[in-house]
Chain A
Amino acid sequence: DVKVTQSSRYLVKRTGEKVFLECVQDMDHENMFWYRQDPGLGLRLIYFSYDVKMKEKGDIPEGYSVSREKKERFSLILESASTNQTSMYLCASSFGTRGETQYFGPGTRLLVL
């Protein structure tokens, strides 16, 4: 069965803190994605990775960075958290390069105070 897990369901951080969100998939997928979801704005792609140590910017990469040292793990880093980064963060993974299905984790709801 497909499994994508995220390190935290809820997170509260202070402005200026460095925040790490971690995602792990057990399906040996090449591709991993980080999205944020906000009311009225839908899902927006932050970064994605198509292989270990490879990354590509999505639509809204500003204020974020990512790390993929192992195939199964993809981390999203907020270098200096700001209140406008309060959001629901969703990780997904998929196999191959031809539009295969993305499978999502349960999400992390981040509140930056």
Chain B
Amino acid sequence: EDQVTQSPEALRLQEGESSSLNCSYTVSGLRGLFWYRQDPGKGPEFLFTLYSAGEEKEKERLKATLTKKESFLHITAPKPEDSATYLCAGSGGTSYGKLTFGQGTILTVHP
């Protein structure tokens, strides 16, 4: 059974304090590893897709990386507006792109 585990469950940072969120996965025949941002009461917003180990993608203060067992979301010099829940999901060898989601990391950035 495919599994995605995120850590930590919650992370509190001071503005400007860089850190990383972890996503460990056991997904058979991984086809894609996805990161989403979700604000309270809203739907997840797509951030990145990573397809193979060694791949990296960046967007503003965020950088996602992928190994054969884990993905990291690095946040450089975060701002309060980066506060949100960050979700990781894997798509495996099953058809039609079904995703297995992690529980999410709640990030709070204090000014």
Chain A: residues with Cβ within 8 Å of the partner, total of: 28
Contact among A94, A96, A99, A106 for B43, CB-based, below 8 A: A106
In angstroms, Cα B43 to Cα A106, docked, is 4
Q: Please give the residue numbers on chain B whose beta carbons come within 8 Å of chain A beta carbons, in ascending order.
A: 31-32, 34, 36, 41-46, 49, 87, 89, 91-92, 95-99, 101-104
Q: Which chain A residues border B95 with CB–CB below 8 Å?
A: 50, 97
Q: Please give the residue numbers on chain A whose beta carbons come within 8 Å of chain B beta carbons, in ascending order.
A: 2, 4, 31, 33, 40, 42-43, 45, 48, 50, 56, 58, 88, 90, 94, 96-107, 109
Q: Are A107 and B96 in contact (CB under 8 A)?
A: no
Q: Are B103 and A42 in contact (CB under 8 A)?
A: yes
* Given A100-B32, A101-B49, A104-B43, residue A43 in contact with residue B87 (CB < 8 A): yes
